[in-house]
C-alpha cells in the first residue's frame, strides 16, 4: 500500500507533497492585514465564505429537499426581512423617544433655572448630567462591548465585503449600541444616531439570520434556516438599509445608501427585498407617529424622528442662482475633504490613547464631555441679545420646550440666537437652520461661531469610546456653513436662508460621505421638497468632484485606518504588471483524497489556513489531479464525528446517513468548533478519512501566469475566499498555491516586491495608511542600492508614468 | 525545422492539433441563438468584448501614455456624459413640443368642427390625419430603419448584457426613432414615447462613443477616444438613464431605472456618472420650460413634458385605507401579468405577419390606425352628456385647447366625460385621471369603457412597425383602473379619486414592468408628492409579488420572444448537475504562437469563431502550453498589415513601431474589417506571423470538471465573451474547448442533453419561448424510450424535485 507507506514518512520528508512548492524565498506566511481595529480594540479577523461549496454532500442535500422545505426557505427570507424592518423601526422609534425625552428634560430644567437667573446651578446640572450620561455610555461600551464604539458603518461595510470581525453582531453589541447611543446623544456630545442605527439594523439582521444568540439562550429553531454566509450577508444588507430608513424616515434613501455605500455585491432580487424591508419601516414608523401625535410621548413632539420638513409650495429659482450654488458646492467639497483629513488624523491619535487601556478610553470620553459642556454653555454668553421679532410665529422667547428663540441670559422680549442653535439638541438646531421666513433671526457672528464649533467639536467627539454617528454632525455643520453663506449673499438672492442651509448640508455631506444618488434622495425625503432636486443634484456633484481630488470618503478612510482588508473593485494598474505567481506565498498545505487522520490533525493544528486543496494521487488516479478544496470547518466536523476507516477506502453512500446538513452549516462568527477541542486516541490517529464527498469539486482556479489584476477581478466579482493557482506547465503538482484576500492587499504585494515602490515612484497609488507598515517591510529587506540594480532584478515590472485607478477598470 | 514541416501537412492530417479534441458526438457547432429579431427584422447577432484584452501590445500602449492623454481620457468621459445629457434633453423637448403641437392642432381642428356640428367632416379629418401620420411613421420605420421598431428597451437591455444587434445604434435608427415616434404618437395610436426616448438616449450615447458615424461623414477625431466596448457600454447606460430622465423629467428615477432594469453590470463610479448625466437633463429641461412659460411654444402648454403634478398639501390617510390599497395592488398585479401574457401572444402573431414583408407590416399598422380612429371617435357617442359643474376651475366645456371638459356632441353647458378621456392625447388623459377635486366628473360606465379600451388597444398597438413605448399606455390603463376602483369605493374613503388613479397606475406598472425602487421614484417625481411614498411602495410590492407568480416582466418576455441570448445572473439548478465538459462543443480551432499565414486565412475563412486559443509547442516550449487567446479582429488587422516573416521567428520590439493602438481599436458594430476583403499572394500565404504580442496572455480558464453553474457565475459576473476550458488530467492538449454565451443558453444545453427534460420533468424552469426550438431538437434525436433507460444513460443528472432559481443564487 504505497499511499499509507508514503504518508508515514511525511513529517520529516523534504520531498513530500506537503512541502512548499514555491521557491524558498517566498515561503513566508502572509500575515499582513490579519488583524484590524474593531470598534476600539484590535482583533483578529477572518474572511467570510460567500462561495457556494459544491460538494457531493451539498448537492445530495439539495436534491433531497421537498417542496415544503423550499417554500419554507423562501418564506423565511421574506419573513426575516419583515421582522428586520419591524424590529429596527421599533428600536429607532424608542431611541428617538428616549433621546428627545432625556435631552429635552435636561434642557427644560436648565432653561428654567436660567429663567430664574440661577446660572451657576444651571451649569452644574447641565455639566453633571452630560458627564454622567457620557461616563455611563463610555463605561458600558468599553467594558461590555468595545465593538460598539463609533458608527459601525465601516465594520458593516467591511462585513458586506467579506471581512468577518469578531463581536460586531452579538447581543451585547446590539444592547450597548442602543443604550450607549441613547445616552451618548443625550449627553450633548456632537455625535449622531444614524450610523449606530445602521449598525443596529445590521446587528438585528445578523442575529435573526443566525437564529438568535446561543450564549443567552435566545435561540429559535425555526429561525435557524440560513446556514451560510451568503444568505446572512443579504440579510445584513437589508438590515443596514432599514437602519438608514429608520434614522431619517427615508425608505428609498435607505435602500440607495445600502446599495451605493454599504454593499459590495448587488442583485436586482436583493434590491427588491431591501425595498420591502424599508417599506415595512416606513409603515411602522408612520403608525407609531400616529400614536404619538395624540401627545402621549412626552417631549417627543410633533416633528418626531429626524424630519426637517422645510416645505414651501413655490420655490422659484433661476439660472442666476446657479453660479452661487456652484461656489457653495466647491467650498463645501473643500471643507468636506478637510473634515475627512482632520477626522482621520484625530482618530489616529485617539487610537494611541485607546490602546493604553480601558481607563484611558473613559478618561478621554470624560475630557471631551467636559470640554463640550463648557463650550455649549459658555459660547452663548459672547452673543449679543436680539429683540424678539414682532411677527414671530411662535412665542418669543420660547419657554419650557425647545424652539427657535432661547432666552438664555437675555432680558425679557429678547433672545440669544447663538443659544438657540448651540444650547439645543442637534435635531432642533438643524430644524432652526432649515426653517424658512427666519432670514433676520441669526447674526453673522453667531452663525460663524456655531459653524466653527460644530466643525471642530464633531471631529473631536467621533472617536470617543461610545456609539457615535457622523451623519447628524456633518448635516449640522454643513447647514450652518450654508446658512452663513446665505446670510453673506443677503438680499441678492431669491432663495431664503433655510434653503441655503439645506444646500450647505448637501454640499458638506457630498464632500465628506461622497455618495450622490442616495444622499440626494435622503435630502429630498428629509426636507420633503422635490422642487429642490436639480439644485441638490448639482451641489452634490460639485462637492463630491472637488473633494475626490483630495482624499477618499470618510468611511473608507476610517476603514483603512482600522486596517480592514477591504477588496476594491478596481485593480490597481501595477497589478496588471504582476502575475499571480509573483504574489502567492507558501507553504502550501494539501491533503490526499483519502488522508490519514494524523496528518489532518497535524496540519490543522500547525497552520491557520481555512481551505486546503485535495489531491488525488496514484493509485487513486493516473496522475496527481486536483480533486477540489476542503474547508477547515468541514474537516473539524469530520474529525469530531470520527468516521474513520482502518484502511484507506472510499466512504460510499454511508456519508448521507452519518451526517446531516446541519453538521456542515456555517456557524456564526467565532462560534465554530476548534481543532484544539478534539481529542483522538493514538489508534484513531492512524486511521483514514475519505474527504471526497466533502470536497468542493468546483473551486475557481487561475493559471500562475494570469495577471494579478484579472485574478483580482475574478476574486472580487465572484466573491471568493480562496482562489487556487494552477501551474502553467504540466507535470508539476496540480496546484501551486492559494490566493486569499490578503494576497491582494497593497501591503502584501509591496512586501513581496518591495522594489515596486522605487520603480513605480510617485505614481504608485499607495493608501496613506499602508505606507508605514510597508516601510517596515521595506527597511528590513533591502540591502542593496541603486535604481538600476533594482530594475535589473525586476525587469518585468514597468509602471505607467501616471496611474489612474479608474483607467483600466473604467 | 519541425514546426514548419508539421504545419505543411496540416489540412489533411487527422492527428493534427487543429482537429476537434472533444468526442465526435459533440463536434457540432453551437448555432442556437445566433440570430434574433432586432426591431422587426431577423438579424445575426454578435457578442461584445467587455473583457480587457491584456496583450503585450496593450500593456506597452498604456505604459507609453503620458499624463495629458490620461487626463484627456478622463475629461472626455465626463464631457461625453455632459453631451449625452444635453442632446437627449434637447431631443426630448423637441419631441414633446412636436407631439403637443401636431396632436394639439388635430384635436383643436376636429373639436372646432364638432362645435359646428359637422361631425362627418370632423371624423374624416381625424381619420385621415391619423392614418397619414401612421403611414408616414410605418413607412420610414420599415424602409429606412426596421431596428427602430418598438420601444427599443429590450434591444438596449440586451446590448448592456453583451449582445450586439446590428443597426440598433446607427444614425438612421436615431433619425427614424425620433421622427417616427413623433408621428406615431401624434397619430393617436395608444403608444408611448418613453421607451423610444431610452433607445434614443442609448443611440446618442453610442454614436458619441464611436465618434460619430463614418457613413454620413459625421465623425470627429477628438471624439474617437473610446476604443473598446467597455467604455461604450458605460456611455450607453448613461444614455438610457438620460432617456428615462428626459421622458418623465425624473432624474433620480432615470438613474434607478437604468440601474434596476437596464444594466447587467454596475459600479459605484458608473452610478455617479449616470447621475451627472441626468442632472444635466434636469437642468436643461428646466431652462427650456422657462423659455416656454412665456408662451412661445404654441400648444405646448404650461404642463409641458409628462408631469402629472397632483400635488396636494395635506394628504391624510389612515390604516383603514391600507387593506383597500392592498387589494388594489393584488388586482393590479393580476391585470399586469395578464397584460404581459396577452401582449407577448399578440407579438408572436404580429411577428408572423411582419415576416411576410414590408407591405404586410405597413398594412398592419394601417389597420390598427383605422381601428383606433373608429374607436376613439365612435365610443364617446355611447356616453351620456353630463351637465357642467357649477364650480369648475376651468371653463366648461373646454374650447380651443385640450382640457378636462370636452363638448363633443353634447348640448351647451354639457360635456362628454368619455370624450374628455378618450378623444384626447394620452398625457392629457392621464392628467385628467390624476386630477383632484374631480370626484364627480366621470361616470362609472365611461371609466370602465375607457379602461377596457386602453387595455386592449395598447396591446394591439405596441407591435406595429413604428417606434412605440409601453410606459404611457400602461400608466393610462392603470390610472383608469385605479380611478374606477376609487369610484366604486366611493365615499367610504378619504383619498380622492385622483390618488386612486395614481395608485392604480403604480399597481399596473408594478404588475407589468416589475421594477420597484425605480418605479417608486419615477411615480414620486411624476406626481411631485412625497407623502404618497408609503402607499406607492406598498402597491408596487404587492402587485410585483402577485404578478411574479404568473410570468416574467414585459421586457424580458419581449426579449425572449425576440430570441436575444440574454445571460441571467443566477444559474439554473440543473446547471449545477452538469460540468463544463458536458456542454462544450467543437470543433476547436487553435493557432500556434508562430503560425503560418495560410493556416490563419484558412481557419478565419472557414469558421465564424471570434477567439482562438494560441498554443506554444516544442521547440518553443518544453511541452504544449497555453499562451493565450487571440481575437479574430486582431488577426484580421495583422493580416491586413502584412507583418510576415519568411521563417518562423519572433517579431520583437518592432511591433510597437509597426502598429498603433488605433489599429486594434474595436470598431463599431458591423464596421470591422472582413477577412474576405484581404487578398494575399501565394508567397505571402507561405510566410509566418508571430502572434505573441497580440495574444491576451491572461484569459480566464475553468477546468473541464467545473460545474456549469459556477462557470456561468464567473462568465456573467466578470462579463466575458470567451471562457477557455482546460483539461483536468495533464498530458492532453492544454485547452479542450471554449465557452461562449450561447453555450449557457437553455436551448443549447437541452439540445446537447435532451434527456434532461425528462429527468427533470415539470420542475425544470424552461422559458416559454425556448420550448418549441428545444422540442425540435428533442424529436430529432430520441429514438428510445423509458425513463429508466434515460436515467441509466445520464446517471450523473438528477434534478431536485422542485426548482427555484433563486435558491442557489439567493
How many interface pairs between A and B have CB atoms less than 8 angstroms apart?
233
Which element (helix H / strand E) includes A475?
helix A471-489
Closest CA to A210 of A237, A239, A231, A241: A231
* B70/A622 touch (CB, cutoff 8 Å), yes or no: no
* B569/A267 touch (CB, cutoff 8 Å), yes or no: yes
Chain centre to alpha carbon of residue A27: 33
pLDDT at residue B764, as a whole number: 35
* A706/B698 touch (CB, cutoff 8 Å), yes or no: yes
pLDDT band at B757 (very low <50, low <70, confident <90, very high): low
Set of chain B residues whose Cβ sits within 8 Å of the Cβ of A544: 272
pLDDT at residue B465, as a whole number: 92
**Higher pLDDT, residue B254 or B266:** B254
How many CA atoms lie within 13 Å of A329's alpha carbon, on the beta-carbon side?
22
CA-CA distance, B580 to B756, in Å (whole number)? 15
H-helix segments, B116-219: 119-144, 153-161, 171-186, 194-209
CA-CA distance, A96 to A98, in Å (whole number)? 5
pLDDT at residue B672, as a whole number: 67
- Say if CB A129 and CB A188 are below 8 A apart: no
State mean pLDDT over B235-246.
Answer: 95
* B806/A287 touch (CB, cutoff 8 Å), yes or no: no
pLDDT at residue B796, as a whole number: 41
CA-CA distance, A540 to A333, in Å (whole number)? 9
DSSP assignment of A66-103:
-HHHHHHHHHHHHHHHHHHHHHHHHHHHHHHHHHHHHH
Q: Which domains does chain B have, with CATH numbers?
A: 72-294 (1.10.3080.10), 321-377+385-562 (1.10.3080.10), 570-584+704-779 (no CATH), 587-697 (3.10.580)
Q: Residue A538 is nearest to which of B279, B705, B728, comparing CB atoms?
A: B279
* A534/B279 touch (CB, cutoff 8 Å), yes or no: yes
Q: DSSP label at B707?
A: B
Phi, psi of A564 (to 5 degrees): -70, 135
DSSP assignment of A206-275:
HHHHHTEETTTTEE-GGGTT--SHHHHHHHHHHHHHHHHHHHHT-HHHHHHHIIIII-SS--HHHHHHHH
pLDDT at residue A300, as a whole number: 60
Per DSSP, what are the bridge partners of residue A469?
A192
CA-CA distance, A504 to A325, in Å (whole number)? 9
Set of chain A residues whose Cβ sits within 8 Å of the Cβ of B256: 256, 517
CA-CA distance, B137 to B143, in Å (whole number)? 10
Phi, psi of A722 (to 5 degrees): -125, 140
Cβ atoms within 10 Å, residue B390: 7
* A530/B533 touch (CB, cutoff 8 Å), yes or no: no
- Closest Cα in chain B, distance from residue A634 (Å): 20
pLDDT at residue B254, as a whole number: 93
CA-CA distance, B469 to B512, in Å (whole number)? 13
Pairing of strands A737-739, A723-726: antiparallel
CA-CA distance, B285 to A733, in Å (whole number)? 64
Q: What is the 3-state secondary structure (H, E, C) of A317-359?
A: CCCCHHHHHHHHHHHHHHHHHHHHHHHHHHHHHHHHHHHCCHH
* A705/B713 touch (CB, cutoff 8 Å), yes or no: no
- Closest Cα in chain B, distance from residue A85 (Å): 14
Which element (helix H / strand E) includes B403?
none
pLDDT band at B218 (very low <50, low <70, confident <90, very high): low
* A802/B267 touch (CB, cutoff 8 Å), yes or no: no
- Say if CB A808 and CB B72 are below 8 A apart: no
CA-CA distance, A368 to A246, in Å (whole number)? 28
Q: Is B11 helix (H, G, I), strand (E, B) or coil?
A: helix
Phi-psi region of B39 (alpha: psi -120 to 50; beta: other; left: phi over 0): left
Q: Encode burial over A239-256: b for 16+ CB neighbours within 10 A, e otherwise.
A: bbbbbbbbbbbbbbbbbb
pLDDT at residue B215, as a whole number: 66
pLDDT at residue B679, as a whole number: 85
User: Cα separations (Å) of B103 from B96, B189, B246, B646?
Assistant: 10, 11, 20, 70
Nine cell digits for residue A590: 494539501
pLDDT tens column, B337-381 = 999 999 999 998 998 888 888 999 999 999 999 999 999 999 998
DSSP assignment of B429-496:
HHHHHH-SS-TTSS-HHHHHHHHHHHHHHHHHHHTSSSB-BSHHHHHHHHHHHHHHHHHHHGGG-SS-
Q: Is B762 helix (H, G, I), strand (E, B) or coil?
A: helix
Q: Residue A276 is nearest to which of B269, B541, B726, comparing CB atoms?
A: B541
Set of chain B residues whose Cβ sits within 8 Å of the Cβ of A54: 576, 707, 709-710
DSSP assignment of A274-320:
HHHHHHHHHHHHHHHHHHHHTT-STT--SS-SS------S-----TT
Chain centre to alpha carbon of residue A806: 23
* A698/B707 touch (CB, cutoff 8 Å), yes or no: yes
**Higher pLDDT, residue B437 or A75:** A75
pLDDT at residue B352, as a whole number: 87
* A806/B269 touch (CB, cutoff 8 Å), yes or no: yes
pLDDT tens column, B529-572 = 777 788 888 899 999 999 998 988 899 999 888 889 999 888 87
Pairing of strands B723-726, B737-739: antiparallel
Set of chain B residues whose Cβ sits within 8 Å of the Cβ of A622: 729
**Of the given ranges (A87-101, A637-651, B233-247, B651-665), which has the lowest mean pLDDT?**
B651-665
- Say if CB A362 and CB A139 are below 8 A apart: yes
Nearest CA in chain B to A704: B698
pLDDT tens column, A23-75 = 434 455 666 667 888 877 888 888 888 888 888 777 777 667 667 777 888 88
Set of chain B residues whose Cβ sits within 8 Å of the Cβ of A85: none
- Closest Cα in chain A, distance from residue B3 (Å): 20
Set of chain B residues whose Cβ sits within 8 Å of the Cβ of A718: 713-714, 717-718
H-helix segments, B490-516: 497-512
Cβ atoms within 10 Å, residue A30: 20
Nearest CA in chain A to B734: A730
Give chain A's radius of gyration (CA, Å): 30
* A544/B319 touch (CB, cutoff 8 Å), yes or no: no
Give chain B's radius of gyration (CA, Å): 30
* A534/B286 touch (CB, cutoff 8 Å), yes or no: yes
pLDDT at B77 over 50: yes
pLDDT at residue B504, as a whole number: 95
- Closest Cα in chain A, distance from residue B447 (Å): 31
CA-CA distance, A403 to A388, in Å (whole number)? 13
Closest CA to B205 of B50, B93, B331, B81: B81
The alpha carbon torsion through A758, A764, A767, A768 (nearest 10 deg) reads 60
Closest CA to B281 of A322, A537, A786: A537
Nearest CA in chain A to B516: A272
Q: Is B504 helix (H, G, I), strand (E, B) or coil?
A: helix
**Higher pLDDT, residue A761 or B101:** B101
Set of chain B residues whose Cβ sits within 8 Å of the Cβ of A800: 62-63, 65
Q: Residue B268 is nearest to which of A67, A260, A318, comparing CB atoms?
A: A260
Q: Where are the beta strands (DSSP E) in A583-647?
A: 591-592, 594-596, 611-616, 625-631
* B697/A707 touch (CB, cutoff 8 Å), yes or no: yes
Set of chain A residues whose Cβ sits within 8 Å of the Cβ of B534: 251, 279, 282-283, 286
pLDDT tens column, B165-179 = 888 998 999 999 999
Q: Residue B276 is nearest to which of A541, A705, A804, comparing CB atoms?
A: A541
Per DSSP, what are the bridge partners of residue A592?
A615
- Say if CB B578 and CB B708 are below 8 A apart: yes
User: Cα separations (Å) of A580 from A584, A804, B715, B727?
Assistant: 6, 21, 20, 20
H-helix segments, B563-707: 580-583, 597-606, 632-641, 655-658, 682-685
Nine cell digits for residue B680: 494575399
Which one of B284, B311, B530 would you mutate to disrupt binding with A, by most A Cβ within 10 Å of its Cβ? B530
- Closest Cα in chain B, distance from residue A648 (Å): 23
- Say if CB B164 and CB B633 are below 8 A apart: no
Low-confidence ranges of chain A (pLDDT < 70): 1-33, 62-63, 65-66, 213-225, 298-319, 392-393, 399-403, 668-672, 730-732, 754-810
Phi, psi of B703 (to 5 degrees): -75, 150
Nearest CA in chain A to B519: A252
Amino acid at each position: 500500500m504505497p499511499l499509507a507507506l508514503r504518508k508515514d514518512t511525511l513529517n520529516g520528508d523534504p520531498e513530500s507533497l506537503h512541502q512548499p512548492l514555491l521557491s524558498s524565498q517566498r515561503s513566508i506566511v502572509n500575515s499582513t492585514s490579519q488583524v484590524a481595529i474593531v470598534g476600539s480594540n484590535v482583533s483578529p479577523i477572518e474572511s467570510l465564505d460567500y462561495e457556494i461549496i459544491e460538494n457531493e454532500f451539498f448537492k445530495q442535500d439539495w436534491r433531497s429537499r421537498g417542496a415544503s422545505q423550499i417554500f419554507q426557505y423562501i418564506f423565511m427570507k421574506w419573513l426575516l426581512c419583515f421582522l428586520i424592518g419591524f424590529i429596527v423601526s421599533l428600536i429607532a422609534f424608542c431611541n428617538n423617544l428616549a433621546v428627545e425625552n432625556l435631552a429635552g428634560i435636561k434642557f427644560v430644567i436648565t432653561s428654567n433655572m436660567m429663567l430664574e437667573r440661577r446660572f451657576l446651578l444651571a451649569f452644574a446640572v447641565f455639566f453633571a448630567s452630560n458627564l454622567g450620561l457620557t461616563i455611563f455610555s463610555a463605561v458600558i461600551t468599553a467594558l461590555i462591548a468595545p465593538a460598539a464604539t463609533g458608527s459601525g458603518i465601516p465594520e458593516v461595510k467591511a462585513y458586506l465585503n467579506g471581512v468577518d470581525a469578531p463581536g460586531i453582531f452579538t447581543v451585547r453589541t446590539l444592547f450597548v449600541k442602543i443604550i450607549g447611543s441613547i445616552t451618548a446623544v443625550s449627553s450633548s456630545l456632537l455625535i449622531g444616531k444614524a450610523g449606530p442605527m445602521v449598525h443596529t439594523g445590521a446587528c438585528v439582521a445578523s442575529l435573526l439570520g443566525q437564529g438568535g444568540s446561543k450564549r443567552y439562550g435566545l435561540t429559535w429553531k425555526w429561525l435557524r434556516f440560513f446556514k451560510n454566509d451568503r444568505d446572512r450577508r443579504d440579510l445584513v444588507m437589508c438590515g443596514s438599509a432599514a437602519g438608514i430608513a429608520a434614522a431619517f424616515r427615508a425608505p428609498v434613501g435607505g435602500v440607495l445608501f445600502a446599495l451605493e455605500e454599504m454593499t459590495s455585491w448587488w442583485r436586482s432580487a436583493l434590491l427588491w427585498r431591501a425595498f420591502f424591508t424599508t417599506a415595512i419601516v416606513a409603515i411602522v414608523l408612520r403608525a407609531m407617529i400616529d400614536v404619538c401625535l395624540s401627545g402621549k410621548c412626552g417631549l417627543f413632539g410633533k416633528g418626531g424622528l429626524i424630519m426637517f420638513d422645510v416645505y414651501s409650495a413655490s420655490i422659484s429659482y433661476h439660472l442666476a442662482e446657479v453660479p452661487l450654488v456652484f461656489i457653495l458646492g466647491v467650498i463645501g467639497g473643500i471643507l468636506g475633504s478637510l473634515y475627512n483629513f482632520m477626522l482621520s488624523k484625530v482618530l489616529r491619535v485617539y487610537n494611541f490613547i485607546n490602546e493604553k487601556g480601558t481607563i484611558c478610553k473613559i478618561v478621554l470620553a470624560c475630557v471631551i464631555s467636559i470640554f463640550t459642556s463648557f463650550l455649549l454653555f459658555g459660547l452663548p454668553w459672547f452673543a449679543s441679545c436680539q429683540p424678539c421679532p414682532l411677527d414671530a410665529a411662535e412665542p418669543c422667547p420660547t419657554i419650557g420646550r425647545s424652539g427657535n428663540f432661547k432666552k438664555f441670559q437675555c432680558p425679557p422680549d429678547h433672545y440669544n440666537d447663538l443659544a438657540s442653535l448651540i444650547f439645543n439638541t442637534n435635531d432642533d438646531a438643524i430644524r432652526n437652520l432649515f426653517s424658512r421666513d427666519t432670514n433676520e433671526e441669526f447674526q453673522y457672528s453667531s452663525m460663524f461661531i456655531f459653524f466653527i464649533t460644530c466643525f471642530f467639536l464633531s471631529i473631536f467627539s467621533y472617536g470617543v469610546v461610545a456609539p457615535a454617528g457622523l451623519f447628524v454632525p456633518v448635516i449640522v455643520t454643513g447647514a450652518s456653513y450654508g446658512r452663513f453663506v446665505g446670510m453673506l449673499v443677503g438680499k441678492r438672492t431669491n432663495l431664503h436662508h433655510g434653503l441655503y442651509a439645506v444646500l450647505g448640508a448637501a454640499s458638506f455631506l457630498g464632500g465628506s460621505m461622497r455618495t450622490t444618488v442616495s444622499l440626494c434622495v435622503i435630502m429630498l425625503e428629509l426636507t420633503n421638497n422635490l422642487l429642490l432636486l436639480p439644485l441638490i443634484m448639482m451641489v452634490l456633484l460639485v462637492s463630491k468632484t472637488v473633494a475626490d481630488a483630495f482624499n477618499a470618503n470618510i468611511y473608507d478612510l476610517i476603514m483603512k485606518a482600522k486596517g480592514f482588508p477591504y477588496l476594491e473593485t478596481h485593480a490597481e494598474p501595477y497589478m496588471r504588471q504582476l502575475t499571480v505567481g509573483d504574489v502567492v506565498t507558501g507553504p502550501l498545505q494539501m491533503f490526499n483524497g483519502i488522508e490519514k487522520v494524523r496528518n489532518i490533525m497535524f496540519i490543522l493544528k500547525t497552520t491557520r489556513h481555512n481551505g486546503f486543496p485535495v489531491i488525488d494521487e496514484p493509485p487513486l488516479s493516473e496522475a496527481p489531479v486536483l480533486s477540489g478544496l476542503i474547508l477547515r470547518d468541514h474537516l473539524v466536523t469530520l474529525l469530531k464525528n470520527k468516521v474513520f476507516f482502518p484502511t484507506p477506502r472510499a466512504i460510499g453512500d454511508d456519508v448521507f446517513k452519518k451526517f446531516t446538513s446541519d453538521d456542515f452549516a456555517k456557524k456564526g462568527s467565532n462560534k465554530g468548533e476548534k481543532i484544539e477541542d478534539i481529542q483522538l486516541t493514538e489508534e484513531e490517529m492512524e486511521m483514514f478519512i475519505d474527504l471526497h464527498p466533502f470536497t468542493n469539486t468546483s473551486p475557481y482556479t487561475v493559471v500562475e501566469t494570469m495577471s494579478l489584476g484579472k485574478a483580482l477581478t475574478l476574486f472580487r466579482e465572484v466573491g471568493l475566499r480562496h482562489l487556487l493557482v494552477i501551474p502553467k506547465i504540466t507535470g508539476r503538482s496540480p496546484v501551486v498555491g492559494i490566493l486569499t484576500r490578503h494576497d491582494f492587499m497593497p501591503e502584501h504585494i509591496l512586501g513581496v516586491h518591495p522594489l515596486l515602490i522605487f520603480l513605480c515612484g510617485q505614481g504608485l497609488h499607495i493608501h496613506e495608511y499602508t505606507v508605514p507598515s510597508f516601510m517596515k517591510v521595506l527597511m528590513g529587506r533591502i540591502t542593496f542600492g541603486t535604481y538600476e540594480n533594482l530594475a535589473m532584478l525586476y525587469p518585468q515590472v514597468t509602471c505607467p508614468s501616471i496611474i489612474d485607478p479608474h483607467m483600466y477598470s473604467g
